[in-house]
Amino acid sequence: MFFIFIIGTRFITWGSGPAGRTMRCPQCDTVGSFVGKKGMRFITLFFVIPVLPISGVRRLLQCPTCGTRYENQ
């Protein structure tokens, strides 16, 4: 028997609550209330199915207009 496993990595986010911060996005230059999210990097099977976490949980801020994510300092 011959099995082929394709593995990769992927950063997966979850949650979307108001961050309570209004700021200017450096990417699209709009001012808005950013969305707070959490995320982790996983080893994935077939680049889709998360199998094993390889980083700790990170807090992020996401621009409501362009979707760019930034580390929450």
Please state, in angstroms and rounded to a whole number, the distance separating the CA atoms of residues 57 and 4.
Answer: 30
Q: Please state the pTM of the whole predicted model.
A: 0.70
pLDDT score at 73: 67
Please state, in angstroms and rounded to a whole number, the distance separating the CA atoms of residues 4 and 49.
Answer: 15
54 pLDDT more than 90: yes
If you average pLDDT over residues 23-44, what whole number do you get?
Answer: 91
* Cα separations in angstroms, 43 against 39, 48, 60, 63: 13, 9, 20, 26
pLDDT score at 16: 82
Average pLDDT, the chain: 88
